[in-house]
Amino acid sequence: MLGRYNLFRSRSFYAKERLLQQMSYYGISDALVFHAVSMENSSTLGNQLILKEVADTPSLHPVWSLLPTISEGGQVGRFVNEMRKHNIRILRLFPLQFHFSLDDWCLGDIFDTLSERKIPVIIDYFDPLTPHADRTDWPSLVSVCRRYPELPIIASEFRFRTNRRLYKAMEKCPNLRLELSGLWLFRAVEFLCREFGADRLLFGTRLPIRDPSCSLGMVNYAMISEEEKEMVAGKNLARLMGV
């Protein structure tokens, strides 16, 4: 995430230059990035701001977000065309922050279009007020995965001691992937690779709110093959993005 955000945390940062320094230090070559305004205020403004932030930085790949109002008046088709125009390969939704539902009555026409065009969607339930709690609406998330089995869906913000819901969701939904920045559990990477396949896991850090060391350590020191580590570290995401 780039840009100013509420509830600033010690040793965090706002600027692209600091993000690039952190990536260089930890050996992270590329990153998906969104603007803080997209999460906390306006998806439309945040989408434009992130384009400006990364315009001259090919290692940073912009991610857009949207609200249910984009479906009014057939705007969803135009929105997706704008994504293609700006080479936006992934969408990020913040249902908790903006208080909207994943159900068909609210997002059905949007999900129809995203599924038709195979645009991966990150469902992000991060809550800055309770950053150590799993706020994911698992029933709604599973329902979306089942209604749109061809749509790649990426779950973010999973937490310790709630792994049973995650495991059942992964079992029931072959199109569900997990981003690792919120997975803090001993040997969880090994278990997920063994039970569901390494292709279901995506490396993520949630910089600048978190230190990437945890995610890096869980991949680098996992008792899985080098091929599986490479998949989790970047190849899975590159394949979903079509790059």
Q: Tell me, what's the pLDDT at 86?
A: 96
* Number of structural domains in the chain: 1
Q: Tell me, what's the pLDDT at 130?
A: 64
Domain containing 76 equals 16-241
Asked if residue 155 is part of any domain, the answer here is yes
Q: Tell me, what's the pLDDT at 70?
A: 82
CATH, residue 33: 3.20.20.140
Asked if residue 30 is part of any domain, the answer here is yes
Asked if residue 220 is part of any domain, the answer here is yes
Asked if residue 148 is part of any domain, the answer here is yes
Return the top range by mean pLDDT from 71-75, 101-105, 157-161: 101-105
Asked if residue 2 is part of any domain, the answer here is no
Q: Tell me, what's the pLDDT at 160?
A: 59
Asked if residue 216 is part of any domain, the answer here is yes
For residue 2, pLDDT over 70 is answered with yes
pLDDT (tens digit, 9 = 90+) per residue, 101-130? 999 999 999 999 999 999 999 999 987 666
Asked if residue 41 is part of any domain, the answer here is yes
For residue 131, pLDDT over 70 is answered with no
Q: Which long-range CB contacts under 8 A does 226-234 form with residues at least 24 apart? A: 227/198, 228/193, 228/198, 231/198, 231/199, 231/201, 232/180, 232/189, 232/193, 232/198, 232/201, 232/202, 232/203, 233/203, 234/29, 234/30, 234/203
